[in-house]
Amino acid sequence: MPKGSTRMHWLLMSGSDHNDNQTKMNISQLIRKNIRALKPYSTARDEFKGGDISVWLDANESPYPNGVNRYPDPHQKRVKRLIASLFGVAPEAIFLGGAGSDEAIDITFRIFCEPGNDNVVAITPSYGVYKVAADINDVEIREVELNSDFSLPVARMLEASDSHTKLIWICSPNNPTGNAFPKEEVLKLSESFHGIVVVDEAYADFSGEGSLLPEIQSHPNIIVLRTFSKAWGLAGMRCGMAFAVPEITEYYNRVKYPYNMSSLIQEELARRIVEGTGNHIEEIIREREHMASKLSEAACVEKVYPSDANFLLVKVSDADAIYDYLIANGVIVRNRSRMPLCDGTLRITIGTPEENAKTLTLLNNYR
């Protein structure tokens, strides 16, 4: 999408403009040539158009039932319908990954970035997998340090980009700083950038800033990542999502491996969506505010940064020593003191009230 061009429009729910040539042309220009030409692996079930089948001899599976002897739905149709209803989008706007958001992150690089030629821009400090995925895919990553108050350096991010910059990565709320970026700033970035802006909203359920999902309608160069690992409490299931216009999600489904989510996970995820999360978002937010207040009273704590996530970034008097002290007393946190702008900090996830109380007692007793 050339800078200054008219923005593409696509209404997720109505399906209007689906044949808009300008939309398709601009999306197509951002995709790697070999990915545009890729013919995905066709599973036996891809060729099945429906019917009253009682004998399945198409996929070289074991015919003896044991609960998992058949291949799972490669397109996760039922789960996507449930997720579509949950988030207010069309099923075609969803990619579902079986390795959390990390699978979507890796595939995004493979769809848009030519190895050894293209580059991406990312904020720092932020989630480390963006850099790992860039290195694996042989893509240069240009890290732009947040402003000193952890705000988004929009102008410097644009200055860091060039004609080979395909992606900009933003984690909001950001890990490890905990702050959510104003949606207006992200939209401004997407309107000024010639490529794709990927917004990782893993912690959005804990924030009052809201989601950028509704903005995909008017800003189709935005991809939003979400996960079931945090607010839904399903980290062990490894379920992540990418939301985008179908012209983009089509390529996720081309590039992904055929059966990237097991039938067991699909069934369990569907069950939990139907029955409700049983989540503890409100309790975690209350505990976050309680922890922030009480941590400030500890002698070893120098600053507690505001948070829109399920964790707090805390500046302490001696991060390495306090980290070791907590481990010696059965509590593990994350030492982030070697990340840019995070000197002397620990990242403390919000636990149960009992776990939080133990952590506060230990920090109050630290000398």
Mean pLDDT of 188-204: 96
Question: 311-316 and 222-227: which strand pairing?
Answer: unpaired
Give yes or no for residue 15 having a pLDDT over 80: no
Which residues, listed in sequence order, are joined to residue 241 by a DSSP beta bridge? 96, 226
Mean pLDDT of 93-98: 96
pLDDT at 11: 31
Give yes or no for residue 46 having a pLDDT over 70: yes
pTM assigned to the model: 0.91
Q: Collect all residues with Cβ–Cβ distance below 8 Å to 252 and sequence separation of at least 6.
A: 95, 104, 107, 111, 242, 244
Give yes or no for residue 306 having a pLDDT over 80: yes
Amino acid at 350: I
pLDDT at 217: 86
Neighbouring CB atoms inside 10 A of 153's CB total 15
Q: How far apart are CA 113 and CA 167, in angstroms?
A: 8
Q: Collect all residues with Cβ–Cβ distance below 8 Å to 208 and sequence separation of at least 6.
A: 180, 308
Give yes or no for residue 292 having a pLDDT over 60: yes
pLDDT at 12: 37
Query: Is residue 230 a contact partner of residue 201, using CB atoms and an 8 Å limit?
Result: no
Q: How far apart are CA 244 and CA 94, in angstroms?
A: 7
pLDDT at 278: 63
Give yes or no for residue 27 having a pLDDT over 70: yes
Which band of pLDDT confidence, cut at 50, 70 and 90, is reported for residue 19?
very low
pLDDT at 211: 96
Neighbouring CB atoms inside 10 A of 97's CB total 24
